[in-house]
Structures are given as C-alpha cells and as structure tokens.
Amino acid sequence: MNKTVDFYFDFSSPYGFFSSEVMDEFSLRCNCEIIWRPYVMGAVMKLTGRKPLVQIPMVNEYSARDLDRVARYHRIEFSVPSVFPISSVAPSRAFYWIRNEFGSEKAKQFAQAIFRAYFVKNLNISKPPTVVEVATELDFDTKAVNDALENPEIKLKVREETDRAIEQGVFGSPFFIVDEEPFWGHDRLNHVESWLVSGGW
C-alpha cells in the first residue's frame, strides 16, 4: 500500500453510501489503504448552520433526482429511505465496538451492511434493535452488540471520533483526507484518485 485515505462519513448520508459501495474497488485501483471513519454529522451541522439538502427549497427536488441518477450511474441498488435523515449514533457505536474487538476489515463489512440496510432495505438504522439485527446477521453476538451500544467507553469513542473529525476540518459526508489534503463529496473521488496517482498538483 502506498498511501492511506481517511474516509469520513455519516451513516445517514446517501452520498456516503455511494462512496462506501465503490471504496473497495477504489482501494485496489489506487493501491491505497482506506481508513473508514464514521462520525456523527449532526454535531457539525450545528457548528456550520447548514441544513440537510432535503430541507432546502428547490435543492430538495434536484437532490432526489441526482441521488437516483448517481445510483444508476454506478449501478448501485438504492432507494431514498422513508425516514430521512436520521441519527447515526447507534450504528457508529456498533462500528467502533466491532473495530476494537475484531479489527478494521470486520468493521468495514459491518459499515457496508448497515449502509445497505438503510439505503437498500429501508430499515431505520437509528434504532438499536435494527443495528443489532444487522450485526447478528454478520455473526456478531446479539447480547454483546446490545451491551456495546450502551457501553460508556464506546459512547465516548464516538464522541471523540466526531470531535477528531471536526478538528480535521471535516464538515460533510463523504469527506476524504489524503496527505492532509481535504476533499469533500462523492464527486471529488476523481480528484482524490488523481492526487494519489500524481502525488498532488
């Protein structure tokens, strides 16, 4: 592996989902390691005063159309969830617990599964029972996941990771950092790729 790419995202972000679906291929193609870093974007929205796109007149209609179009472009199965946006606290806790206990690869698989639960199967992943169900399907222990969601250390870890994201200047999802260079948005992945290949410009 040449470089690492910090991949920041919020589990309720549709463009974050699209990136999550192409990240494995991206990693192989660019010969880079991806560090998956879920954080809770709600905390940042308060700092920036920004609103979710779906709450902005005119932008909301465009946004729905763009999401469907980007999904078709990548041939990714996708539908706008019936409850949107939602809190990503519970799935973020489960992610960091899995990473602590079982490592990055397992945590990545969980992240991909949680994203699909929300954006393909229309399950409300803000609810702890849904998070537990998704984790159980991946063979994690039901009781252990349930406990993890209420574990004070894990709760703290999610807050710390969110603070860390904000310190790094992260305010959107997805958001990539390579060589301390920040790239905001799924549609900047081509620039991230060019940056990795060329060493910057």
Binding site for its own copies (CB under 8 A): 44, 47-50, 56-59, 61-62, 65-66, 69-70, 72-73, 166, 169, 171, 181-185, 187-188, 190-191, 194, 201
Nearer to its own copies, 74 or 143 (CB): 74
Q: Nearest approach, Cβ of 201 to its own copies (angstroms)?
A: 5
Amino acid identity of 88?
A: S
Helix/strand/coil for 181: strand
Nearer to its own copies, 72 or 143 (CB): 72
Nearer to its own copies, 44 or 134 (CB): 44
Token pair listed for 136: 């159980």
Q: Are 176 and 189 in contact (CB under 8 A)?
A: yes
Q: Nearest approach, Cβ of 155 to its own copies (angstroms)?
A: 24
Nearer to its own copies, 34 or 71 (CB): 71
3-state helix, strand, coil in the chain (%, to 5): 60, 10, 30
Q: Are 8 and 165 in contact (CB under 8 A)?
A: yes
Q: Are 118 and 125 in contact (CB under 8 A)?
A: yes
Distance CA 159, CA 166 (A): 11
Q: Nearest approach, Cβ of 45 to its own copies (angstroms)?
A: 11
Q: Nearest approach, Cβ of 20 to its own copies (angstroms)?
A: 19
